[in-house]
Amino acid sequence: MNLPNALTLSRIFAVPLLVVVLLTRVAHPDRNVVGFSIYLATAIFLAASATDFFDGYLARKRKQITTLGMLLDPVADKLLTSAAFISLVELKWVPAWMVVIIVGREFAITGLRSIASREGFTIDASELGKIKMFMQVVAITLIILSHRFPVLDSLGKFALWLVVISSLVSAIDYFRKFWKKVDSRVKARQRRKLVLVRKRRDHESAQPERSAVSSPTLTPDSSTVLGDKNQT
């Protein structure tokens, strides 16, 4: 296994660790333990998020882009952010309806990409999707730290609203790209069918003409000549 894929896997393995730190130690009655868990959860989340940049950068630089890495990278991103948001809902630090929109968008885009893969094309990550991912990291970090530093509470809520808006806008952009490619492929498929139908019709209409040319026809004069020869 190469280094970029190892970084991607480390992001996946960080997910249960992040959930355990957020959901267990944060509820501890000792405030010192709570403070330590907040710092630890923030460090785990930021370190895991940083691997999202380094795995792609190293894969391109070292020419180690693999199919496994291309499949695991978006899955790791969605697992990390979705697990963090769901944990924050469990702690009642963020509204559930906002997280439903954010996580639902991730499932919808994953479904579109799987359909696109079966159809033989891919949907590349857009700039809006990258901005959305960056805003998710910022929002989750601010929301976690705001329970240690209350001054960050307003910034965390504002960043969460930006995540919801960017999720909806990027989802619309992905749907537009998906529909455009599917529509062009369907039209191309219909054109190929029409061409085949026309070729078949031309071939069928040409067959009677060939048979008419190849089979000899007896004119009245030729039949008379043949009859005279038979009589002699």
pLDDT at 18: 92
Tokens 């040319």 map to which residue?
213
Q: How confident is the model at residue 225 (pLDDT cuts 50, 70, 90)?
A: very low
pLDDT at 211: 56
Nearest Cα neighbor of 133 from 159, 98, 100, 96 is 159
Tokens 């894969």 map to which residue?
59
Query: Please, are residues 119 and 182 in contact by the beta-carbon 8 Å criterion?
Result: yes
pTM over the 0.95 mark? no
Q: What are phi and psi of 116, to 5 degrees?
A: -60, -40
Q: How confident is the model at residue 136 (pLDDT cuts 50, 70, 90)?
A: very high
Query: Please, are residues 130 and 174 in contact by the beta-carbon 8 Å criterion?
Result: no
Query: What is the percent of the chain where pLDDT is above 90?
Result: 30
Higher model confidence: residue 55 or residue 98? Answer: 98
Mean pLDDT of 155-176: 90
* pLDDT tens figures, 63-107: 777 777 777 888 888 899 999 999 999 989 999 999 999 999 888
Mean pLDDT of 181-186: 70
pLDDT at 16: 93
Q: Which CATH superfamily is domain 3-188 in?
A: CDP-alcohol phosphotransferase transmembrane (TM) domain (1.20.120.1760)
Domain limits of the chain?
A: 3-188
Residue 78 CA to residue 107 CA, distance in Å, equals 9
Which stretch, 23-37, 99-113, 139-153, has highest mean pLDDT? 139-153
**Mean pLDDT score of the chain:** 79
Name the token pair of 80.
């990390």
pLDDT at 226: 44
Tokens 């954010």 map to which residue?
102
Higher model confidence: residue 26 or residue 175? Answer: 175
pLDDT at 71: 77
